[in-house]
Structures are given as structure tokens and as C-alpha cells.
Amino acid sequence: MNIVHLSAIDTAGGAALAAHRTHRALMDAGVNSQMVVQDRRSQDPQVHAPGTALGRILGRYGNVRIERSLNKLYPHRDPAAFHSQWVPTNVVQRVRMLEPDLVHLHWICNGFVRVEALPRFGAPLVWTLHDMWPLTGGCHYSGDCRGFEARCGQCPLLGSHSAWDLSRWVWLRKRRAWSKLNLTLVSPSRWLAAEARRSSLFRDLRVEIIPHGIDLQRYRPMARSAARSALGLPVTPLLILFGAVAAAHDHRKGFDLLQLALQKLRGTLPPDTRLVVFGSDGPQSHRDLGMKTHYMGTIRDETTLAQLYAAANVFVLPSRQDNLPNTAVEALACGTPCVAFDVGGVRELIAPEQTGWLARPFDTDELARGVVWTVAREREAELAAASRRKAELEFGAPLHARRTLELYGSLLSTTKREES
């Protein structure tokens, strides 16, 4: 079985990391798995970047800027990501040279794979939904907009009042190009699977639910004091952890909501309680977070990241909308309970009062209460054990590989029967 994965990047960002973990889990299971990317960050020899220096420069910098140039037509647009995927590239030829039995798509934006390229790969397609972009006219999370259920247009993300705007153009291109694809969708969460089944583009397609898989030997509980010492963090105070790509700047990630919740905790938690933030060097302007804050920056090394989860008393995920975030999966695997808003696929990770706390969206008083409840010393051992147990039952890499291989096998068997 020869599998080729397509991902814009291999290890930078949550979707890329999840894709690379799938690839590595399949390799560990004996599968001939390769990745084709436009921006390689790892040293994995089975990850194929563009072969020329110019191709690599375009992959990392040029395609992204060209791709986003159309967004400038909308001066009132939201800064959140919007991709049209109109830039021609040679990715089809690169994939065909590897002669795959099946092509597994992941996060393919930033100008990596043009919408019209999907029918040209010459193999059955599986597409893991890392966000909502495949379902929509260009946004990655729709917020309160339900335009993707019928047809996009008047896009709130673009600040558009026209039915025939950029989102309608992208949606029409997707509908034309993808109408007869041999495509099966994979969703890490039940929430996003349900959204896919409601979408006008994919409502008739097969959708399988396969949660992310991680290395449970790397992400595991360890002595909190040792983890803190290794990271240079104080050993005795309560540590509240928050992290994401562009953690302090991405509105969807909810750093502003976390700020409001933490301000409500003044006088409730011990005065030496600290907030630890990874994925950001700090906010663009001063923020009163109600406690001393350690900004750890972007952490690429997974061993260091696992130490950070193990060092914390609680991981807080204040996202406004999310799929099945890697950060929460990783925290649970390290025995660190999570506090979050009850949104998207997050509710599939956190069992209330067992592995953490789910607050009503977007009630910062309740989020604050959840932090207080979760860090109570008398619950610490029980919550840690339950968190680790959930990760072991649902998110191990071998289980993820087995589920994925079962899907591949059924699709390739069907293809062979249809060809014979």
C-alpha cells in the first residue's frame, strides 16, 4: 500500500503536526507512507519538499503572499485566515511521480493545492478535516455564519454585503471541481463530521470519525517539580497553562476571554499563582492578566512541550470555535486536566468534572469557577489519572493508525471491485 499525504507544512502548526503524526504512525505500522509539502520543517526523509531553491522559497513565502492578494479587495475584512486556493502549482505532477494507491489530503492552503487540482491526482482521495475550510467559500471557521449549508456569499469574514463576492466564487469553483471526486472525508471530531454532513459541498459524502493520535510515550505524566526545574519555572506556585499558534493574537483562540476570567480570580487563588503561555512571545500591547505571566514563545521540540504540560496544574482552552485541538489531547496525555468552553469538538475531549471543566460559551465567570474547581488539591490525583486514562483509551498513535488503515483497506477494496 503506497500512501501519499498532502499538507502545506509538515510540522509547524496544529494541523501540520497532526498530519505528520498520522504519516509516522502509518510508517510505524509498516505502511509505505510519504508526505508532499510546500514547506518542510522536519528532517524526515519521507517528506518531500519542492526540488529547487526557487520552489522552496515560493513554498515558504511566495505562494502565501500571492494567494492572499485577492483578500486585499476587501478593506473591511477580518484578519482571520481566508484562502481562495487559486494559485497554480506543480503539486499534481509531484504526487503522480510517487504513484500512490491513495492520496490523503490534510491542510492544503497557503497556495499549496489549487481547488481545481483535486480531480487530477488519479487516485482515491481521503481528506482529514483539520478545520472548516473544505466546507466553505474560504473561511477556516464559520463562527455564527451558516452560509456553507447552502451557498456562500455576503461573507462576514470579508466584511462583504455582496452575494457575488470572493466567497461565492471560491464556493462555485469547489462545487464544479469536486462534484465527481472519489473522496472520503475523515473528521477528528463528531462536531466537524456533523458540520460536513450539513454542508452543501459534502452532504452526500461518506464521513468517518477518526480522532487524532499521539505518541503516548512522549506525552506522559512526569514529576511536576522535575518538569518545572527543567523549564526554569518556579516549583511551588499554581501554574495555569494556555497555548496555541499565535496564542495571544488569534481572536478565535480566546486570549481576551482568558484575560477576563483570570481577572475574576484575584483574591481567590494563591497570590503567587502564575500564567504560562506558549505559542506567543507576548501580546502586542500590555494586558492586565491578574497574575505574573511567563511567555515561553513557540516551542517546536515535543519533549519540551510535554514537560510544559506536565509542569502545569491545569490547561485552559478558551477557544471560541475549535475542532479537536492537539493541545487538549496532549495535555490529557500528560495527566493535566483541561478547562474550556463547551464549543465544537472540545466537548468530546473534556468529561465535565472527570477530566476537567466545560463552561457555557462564553461565560468567563464560569470559566474562572472551572479553574478554581480543577486546581483544588483534593481532586488533583483523580483528575490526573482520569485525564491520562482517556488519552490511553482514545488517542494513542497505534489505535489511530489501525483505524486509518481499516478505512484505506475498505476504500481500495471497493476501487478494485469497481475496476474489475
Alpha-carbon Rg for the chain in angstroms: 22
Amino acid at 7: S
Query: Mean of the pLDDT values across residues 141-159?
Result: 96
Query: Above 80 in pLDDT, residue 69?
Result: yes
Predicted confidence band at 166 (pLDDT cuts at 50, 70, 90)?
very high
What average pLDDT is seen over the chain? 93
Average pLDDT over residues 42-59: 83
2-213+397-413: CATH topology is: Rossmann fold (3.40.50)
Q: Provide the pLDDT for residue 97.
A: 96
Q: What is the dihedral of CA 349, 353, 355, 358, to 10 degrees?
A: 40
CB 337 within 8 A of CB 312: no
d(CA 24, CA 1) in angstroms, rounded, equals: 15
Q: Give phi and psi for 229, each to the nearest 5.
A: -65, -40
**For residue 209, is it left (φ>0), alpha (ψ between -120 and 50) or beta?**
beta
pLDDT on residue 285:
56
Q: If residue 372 lies in a helix (H) or strand (E), which one and from where to where?
A: helix 364-374
Report the range of poorest mean pLDDT among 73-77, 225-229, 249-253.
Answer: 249-253
Q: What average pLDDT score do residues 269-290 get?
A: 81
CA distance 79 to 140: 12
- The mean pLDDT value for 9-20 works out to 94
For residue 31, pLDDT beyond 60: yes
Structurally, at CATH architecture level, domain 224-394 sits in 3-Layer(aba) Sandwich (3.40)
**pLDDT at position 95 over 80:** yes
User: For the segment 313-338, what is each residue's pLDDT rounded down to a tens digit?
Assistant: 999 999 999 999 999 999 999 999 99
Categorize the per-residue pLDDT at 249 as very low, low, confident or very high, splitting at 50, 70 and 90: confident
Q: Where are the domains of the chain?
A: 2-213+397-413, 224-394
For the whole model, what pTM was predicted? 0.94
Q: Does the pLDDT of residue 80 top 90, yes or no?
A: no
Question: Using CB atoms within 10 A of its CB, is residue 156 exposed (0-12), middle (13-18) or buried (19+)?
Answer: middle
Residue 420 has pLDDT above 70, yes or no: no
pLDDT at 199: 98
**pLDDT for 183 beyond 90:** yes
What CA–CA distance (Å, rounded) separates 33 from 230? 35
User: H/E element holding 415?
Assistant: helix 397-419
At 263-273, the pLDDT tens digits run: 999 889 999 99
- Confidence class of residue 283 from pLDDT cuts 50, 70 and 90? low
Mean pLDDT across 159-166: 96
Q: What's the pLDDT score for residue 158? A: 97
Cell numbers linked to 117: 487540482
Q: Residue for cell digits 462576514? A: 156
Which residues have CB under 8 Å from 257's CB, separation 6+?
318, 320, 341, 362, 364, 367
Instruction: Answer whether residue 34 shows pLDDT above 80.
Output: yes
Q: If you write DSSP's letter for every residue of 251-293 in order, what string do you get?
A: GGGTHHHHHHHHHTTTTTS-TT-EEEEES-S--SS----SSEE
Helices (H) and strands (E) in the chain, counts: 13, 13
Q: Do domains 2-213+397-413 and 224-394 have the same CATH topology?
A: yes
> Could you tell me where the beta strands, DSSP code E, fall in 229-298?
239-243, 274-278, 292-295
Residues 242, 245: Cα–Cα separation, whole Å: 11
Q: Are 332 and 312 in contact (CB under 8 A)?
A: no
Q: Residue 303: what residue type?
A: T
DSSP 8-state class, residue 360: P
As a 3-state breakdown, the chain gives helix, strand, coil percent values, each rounded to 5, of 40, 15, 45
At 290, the pLDDT band (50, 70, 90 cuts) reads: confident
φ and ψ of 165, to 5 deg: -110, -170
Q: How far is 57 from 63, CA to CA, in rounded Å?
A: 9
Mean per-residue pLDDT for 150-158?
97
pLDDT at residue 135, rounded to an integer: 97
Reply yes or no: is the peptide bond before residue 362 cis, omega within 30 of 0. Answer: yes
| 130-145 average pLDDT score | 97
Report the candidate in 343, 345, 338 with the shortest Cα–Cα distance to residue 363.
343
**pLDDT score of 402:** 98
Measure the CA–CA gap between 388 and 152, rounded to whole angstroms.
41
Give the mean model confidence (pLDDT) for residues 204-224: 97
C-alpha distances in angstroms, 48 versus 41, 59, 251? Answer: 11, 12, 33
Beta-bridge partners for 352: 356
